[in-house]
């Protein structure tokens, strides 16, 4: 079922001046490449062709913006940790990501997508530290939960919670079975609407 039936691709950005107008509210998804970020976005957007946009050659290094309706957006941040990418390009991503996260007034929440089999890892912590200075909620999505048995899943979730303490909320998710889809949808909606009673930063 489409979770956001009005969703449409908005634009891609390689430089901050290409970001869409900084009004309204948006929730950004970040994760190491291959973590399952596109599959999660796909499940949320409910339209395979949309989230696949971010996967087309040339777009994986960009920040991709999707409109959910009037002034609401989901943002697909570039996957980090591509071993094969030249160093200069990795540096550009890092800078673009930092600029985006630190300067974006409409950013209302960050979803860190990570493979549940690895759990919350060093590269995820670096990202958390990057946004840790901002007053936006962070939610960790432990994806590919279908690859774990029940006991393993419970342990992974418990371990991630212990590591994160109060800095982020955590959930298990599977794009294959749809487990956790309602929870991530609810979380994203809460983040998007937290602006309504709040002054801009
Ligand atoms: P991205 O690079 O983070 O956007 O990762 P993708 O969404 O492209 O997923 C990477 C690989 O993991 C693909 O082969 C997906 O089919 C697979 N994958 C993604 N999510 C899941 C999941 O929930 N369960 C399983 N079993 N595989 C998944």
Mean pLDDT by 10 residues, the chain (201 residues): 76 92 95 89 82 63 88 88 65 82 93 92 80 84 97 96 91 96 96 73 53
Ligand 1 centroid to 144 CA: how many Å?
7
70-80 b/e with 16+ CB inside 10 Å = b?
A: eebbbbbbbbb
- pLDDT for 131: 74
Q: Which atom of ligand 1 is nearest to the CA of 174?
A: 23
Give the residue among 93, 56, 57, 58 at the shortest CA–CA distance from 78.
93
3-state helix, strand, coil in the chain (%, to 5): 40, 25, 35
Give me the CATH code for the 8-192 domain, please: 3.40.50.300
Asked if 42 contacts 52 with a C-beta cutoff of 8 angstroms, the reply is yes
Asked if 196 contacts 156 with a C-beta cutoff of 8 angstroms, the reply is no
Backbone dihedral angles phi then psi of residue 25, each to the nearest 5 degrees:
-140, 145
Indicate the DSSP class of residue 80. B
Best substitution site from 39, 121, 143, 180 to test ligand 1's pocket, by max atoms within 8 Å of Cβ? 39
Tokens in use for 152?
Answer: 């393993």
- pLDDT for 20: 96
Q: Output the 3-class SS for 106-118.
A: CEEEEEEEEECCC
- pLDDT for 135: 82
Best substitution site from 32, 36, 124, 146 to test ligand 1's pocket, by max atoms within 8 Å of Cβ? 36
Ligand 1 centroid to 39 CA: how many Å?
6
Ligand 1 centroid to 52 CA: how many Å?
12
- pLDDT for 122: 81
pTM for the whole structure: 0.91
Q: Write the CA distances from 100 to 17, 81, 93, 117, integer angstroms.
A: 10, 18, 10, 29
- pLDDT for 84: 60
Ligand 1 centroid to 175 CA: how many Å?
8
Ligand 1 centroid to 98 CA: how many Å?
25
Tokens in use for 71?
Answer: 């002034």
Q: Which atom of ligand 1 is nearest to the CA of 39?
A: 7
Tokens 């007053």 correspond to what residue? 135
Q: Which helix (H) or strand (E) holds 132?
A: none
Asked if 42 contacts 174 with a C-beta cutoff of 8 angstroms, the reply is no
Ranges of each domain in the chain: 8-192
Backbone dihedral angles phi then psi of residue 183, each to the nearest 5 degrees:
-65, -45
């Amino acid at each position: 079922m489409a979770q956001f039936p009005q969703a449409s691709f908005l634009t891609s950005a390689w430089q901050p001046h290409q970001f869409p107008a900084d009004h309204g509210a948006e929730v950004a998804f970040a994760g190491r490449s291959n973590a399952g970020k596109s599959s999660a976005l796909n499940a949320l957007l409910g339209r395979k062709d949309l989230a696949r946009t971010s996967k087309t050659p040339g777009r994986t290094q960009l920040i991709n913006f999707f409109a959910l309706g009037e002034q609401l957006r989901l943002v697909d941040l570039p996957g980090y940790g591509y071993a094969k990418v030249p160093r200069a390009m990795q540096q550009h991503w890092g800078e673009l990501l930092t600029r985006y996260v630190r300067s974006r007034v409409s950013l209302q929440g960050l979803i860190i997508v990570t493979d549940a089999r690895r759990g919350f890892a060093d590269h995820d912590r670096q990202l958390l530290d990057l946004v840790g200075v901002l007053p936006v909620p962070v939610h960790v999505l432990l994806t590919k939960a279908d690859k774990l048995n029940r006991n393993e899943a419970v342990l992974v979730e418990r371990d991630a919670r212990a590591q994160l303490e109060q800095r982020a909320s955590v959930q298990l998710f599977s794009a294959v079975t749809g487990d956790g889809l309602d929870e991530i949808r609810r979380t994203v909606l809460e983040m998007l609407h937290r602006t309504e009673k709040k002054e801009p930063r």
